[in-house]
Amino acid sequence: MDTRKPTLDKDLDKISYVEEAAGNLARGYAAPGLALLFIIIVMVVSAAFFAGATGAWLIVAAAAIGGYMALNIGANDVANNVGPAVGSNAMTMGTALIIAAVFESAGALIAGGDVVGTISKGIIDVDAVSDKNIFLAAMLAALISSALWVNLATWIGAPVSTTHSIVGGVMGAGIAAAGFAAVNWPTMGGIAASWIISPLLGGIIAALFLFFIKEMIIYRDDKIAAAKQWVPVLIAIMAGAFASYLAIKGVNKLIKIDLMTALAFGFATGLVAWIATRPLIAKQAEGLENRNQSVRRLFAIPLVCSAALLSFAHGANDVANAVGPLAAIVHTVELGDVAAKVSIPLWVMVVGAFGISIGLLLFGPKLIRMVGEQITRLNPMRAYCVALSAAITVIIASWLGLPVSSTHIAVGAVFGVGFFREWYTEKSKKRQAWVTANNNRTMPGSDDVGDNPEVARQEIARRKLVRRAHFMTIISAWIITVPAAALLSAVMYLVLSTVLV
């Protein structure tokens, strides 16, 4: 006999749906709630430090905005460091978040430096904003506008340069405060040039390394033998490049190192890495099948290391974007004078370091998936090319004296890998000959297509290997970052000046 009560079952189902909806809603509010809690803690701590001091309310407000900016940097910028490794399945999202958070914080606190240029590398003439109140309004406006812009970019799924955002914010506030003559236009011209140079250079270098891997390893009859010969060389190049990269972007904050010394250190590190990894790769390659999947395993550990090193260097270099204007405000309120360079108090550095890490943990997965999975398909070999390109491009830019964005480099490298795959799949005679000789490969549309080369070409023509919609969204966001942040900052300055000036 059926003992169920239809009415009761319907009511229970409704309750279950309501509970599920409430749970989803609660999870949706959890991250913003924790972010707000962090900002409140920052305000409480800063208020405790400056209780009773003149202008304490301004420092507390600036600390809250600096914490908000740090959260946004963690949500947006850090994706470039770990996105390729996650997209290639070299590490899980959880592992990536932990590694990035730990090394971002370590880079900021250990090598973040104790002095920062408050006018963002000479964008604005200090004399033009020498009045204390005008300077405070300009720094607050720059901080608010850049944080809002990075937050908006994260929401639409576009990885943008936080450096360019703060530069645009400082420029807009400076123009609103003292006119166009206050801006150092040659410096701004160099930054504008980096919009093109950074992604192009990153893309070209990544494509060249992927070409080398395909020609020397992937489309060889004995892939494992080729990998045993060349993977140690590639790991050595990565080790050397990252050693030089960290010397320039990270350790240089602690000990002044010129470019040639950094390159010599990188060469020595690479040589040691080559000697050490040859027997390790040979042992790891024992018993592997002669397949691409086997070769990919050899790149997994170098990718994890590269994600950690990139995060360390990013924390050392970009924490100033969050706390530079805050440190300037603290200095000006405490001492009453405007300075081009100021010391960063430890509590301010901690706000930047922890804010970036918390922003990464709470909001980072969205942009990590965008960079690692949604632009083009990545495997460990392609992700290796992206990570190596980021290090080498920064070294070349430092040698040429060009201001570049780590965001633009990394994302440009992902685009470079994707567009190169499109070209190589269509044009490479070696690949076509290999596919013809091995026509029992995998599905059409991947790098290893082969059942029918003509079907593969038709499929790739129909479904491009780089998603054009994401490409246009990101490029558009890059182009408008500086003017958008500048416009927001100018408006914020005009509002704040009614209170401070």
Domain that holds residue 370: 36-500
Q: Does residue 9 lie within any of the structural domains? A: no
Q: Which residues pair with 343 in a beta bridge?
A: 115
Q: How many domains does the chain have?
A: 1
Angle among Cα 334, 339, 340 to the nearest 5 degrees reads 145
Which residues, 6 or more positions from 464, have their beta carbon under 8 angstroms from its beta carbon?
Answer: 422
Contact 215, 430 (CB under 8 A): yes
Closest to 342 measured CA to CA, from 115, 62, 109: 115
Please state the separation of Cα 330 from the chain's center in Å.
Answer: 28
Q: Does residue 344 lie within any of the structural domains? A: yes
* pLDDT confidence of residue 492: 94
Pair of tokens at residue 5: 């009560």
pLDDT by 10-residue block (mean), the chain, 501 residues: 56 56 57 92 89 84 92 86 87 89 84 56 74 88 93 89 87 90 83 83 93 91 91 92 81 73 92 94 88 86 86 77 80 78 80 90 89 86 90 80 77 91 81 68 45 51 68 87 94 89 64
Q: Which residues pair with 442 in a beta bridge?
A: 449
Q: Does residue 224 lie within any of the structural domains? A: yes
Q: Does residue 13 lie within any of the structural domains? A: no
CA–CA gap between residue 141 and residue 153 (Å, rounded): 18
Q: Does residue 197 lie within any of the structural domains? A: yes
* pLDDT confidence of residue 280: 92
Pair of tokens at residue 453: 């080369």
DSSP codes joined into one string, 323-373: HHHHHHHHHHHHH----SEEEPPHHHHHHHHHHHHHHHHHHHHHHHHIIII
**CA atoms within a 13 Å half-sphere pointing along the CA-CB vector of 399:** 12
Q: Does residue 328 lie within any of the structural domains? A: yes
**Which helix H or strand E contains 424, and what residues bound it?**
helix 406-427
Pair of tokens at residue 139: 């720094």
Q: Does residue 30 lie within any of the structural domains? A: no
Q: Does residue 183 lie within any of the structural domains? A: yes
CA–CA gap between residue 394 and residue 309 (Å, rounded): 14
* pLDDT confidence of residue 140: 92
* pLDDT confidence of residue 15: 59
